[in-house]
Amino acid sequence: MKDSITQILKKDELSRNDIVRLLASEGEERLQLFTESERVKKENSGNKVYYRGLVEFSNICDKDCYYCGIRRGNKEVERYNLSDKEILDAARYAYENKYGSVVLQSGELSNPAFTRRVTRLLEGIKKLSNGELGITISLGEQSRQTYREWFEAGAHRYLLRIEASNPELYSKLHPNDELHDFHSRLNCLKLLRETGYQTGTGVMIGLPFQSVDDLAGDLLFMKETDIDMVGMGPYIEHASTPLKKYKNELLPLEERFDLSLKMIAILRIMMKDINIAAATALQAIDPMGREKAIKIGANVIMPNITPGMYRDSYNLYENKPCTDDSADDCKGCLDARLSMVNAEPAYGEWGDSKHFYRRQKIKGKR
């Protein structure tokens, strides 16, 4: 006899079958899941939501991932690269508006000039904020030496999304070459942890070829990897990518959205003290998508502070929201939206992962 949702939610550890059952929950059972994840979130991080001012500073990328709108092979995208001044001005805006932290994100590049530039930018952000701005970076696969250089320059959180933890599925989403190797990406996650970063990963939900069992495996991967923070959301297709040809085989957007909320809720229950971001892709499907995610488990949100003229060119997927909003528009809108779900912006706080510090403490005792 199968365990009821009530019995599953009382367990200290969830099995793969338990997770699959929760992902399939509907009606009252779905409500039970969200009620429990909301309780766990409030117990561990209260109603606080941490802001990360997002600067998408370049859409130039060496990778050719089959799902991504800024993939190297897409000749239709207009490429851009912010100047150092534009990036530092955006960081200054975050500092002056008490966002607490910034995120530097770009296409994946790996060369000495790029490494030196990022180092210079990190040092500049620390200087202009008197060391008060926290810094997350999401800049792809790099060498151990590069990760160390950026860490010493001031970055302390790093997001490297795995996108799919099943190697077979991963291989269907990327070219079969050394630049898109599953095990290399896994090794980079290991290097980031060894360097000392609060390490984050994430997946896309509702991909072609993806099963509910794959999604359960993704959550178990995050648990087993003992990750500190997660950014995951629904897969939204882009017209200029190879995966677009499978659009008729995809789940409806509303189902991908619902699965994303369930993934966030289940992960919050499984990993009570990590940071979970409410992905912008959620809002591309539901105008209140990010707020719904925050209500049931997410505790980080990333207002976009990239200069408006460039936002349309950083389209990883179609129908990206808020591309024509100014940074001020975004800030005011988010404050109002968060109040609707009884959430409180944690201005001026880094909002580091509690899980990271607990893990470090345990590590120190060994």
Predicted confidence at residue 340, as pLDDT, reads: 84
The predicted pLDDT at position 212 comes to: 98
CA distance 184 to 74: 24
Q: Which whole number is the average pLDDT over 226-231?
A: 98
User: Is the pLDDT confidence value at 10 over 80?
Assistant: yes
- Residue 259: the pLDDT is 98
For 307-331, how does the pLDDT look when each residue is reduced to its tens digit (9 = 90+)?
A: 876 656 666 656 656 555 566 656 6
Chain segment 105-143, per-residue pLDDT in tens: 999 999 999 999 999 999 999 999 999 999 999 999 999
* Mean pLDDT across 58-69: 96
pTM: 0.94
Element (DSSP H or E) covering residue 40: helix 27-45
Predicted confidence at residue 365, as pLDDT, reads: 44
pLDDT value of position 2 = 77
pLDDT in tens, 33-63: 999 999 999 999 899 999 999 999 999 999 9
| 253 pLDDT higher than 90 | yes
The label of the residue with tokens 């959620």 reads 282
Query: Which segments within 238-331 are labelled E, that is strand?
Result: 275-278, 300-301
The pLDDT value recorded for residue 173 is 97
Distance CA 168, CA 173 (A): 9
As a whole number, mean pLDDT of residues 100-104 equals: 97
Residue 181 confidence class, pLDDT cut points 50, 70, 90: very high
* 3-state class (DSSP) for residue 145: helix
Domains and CATH numbers, the chain: 44-365 (3.20.20.70)
Worst-scoring range by mean pLDDT, 203-207, 280-284, 317-321?
Answer: 317-321
Radius of gyration of the chain (CA): 19
According to the model, what pLDDT value does residue 321 have?
61
| pLDDT given for residue 191 in this prediction | 98
Is it the case that residue 6 has pLDDT exceeding 50? Answer: yes
pLDDT tens profile 132-178:
999 999 999 999 999 999 999 999 999 999 999 999 999 999 999 99
Instruction: Give the separation between CA 97 and CA 82, rounded to whole angstroms.
Output: 21
What is the Cα–Cα distance from 258 to 289, expressed in whole angstroms?
Answer: 10
Range with lowest mean pLDDT among 186-190, 280-284, 321-325, 333-337: 321-325
Which residue reads 């912008």 in tokens? 280
Average predicted confidence (pLDDT) for the chain: 92
| Under 8 Å between Cβ of 76 and 240 | yes
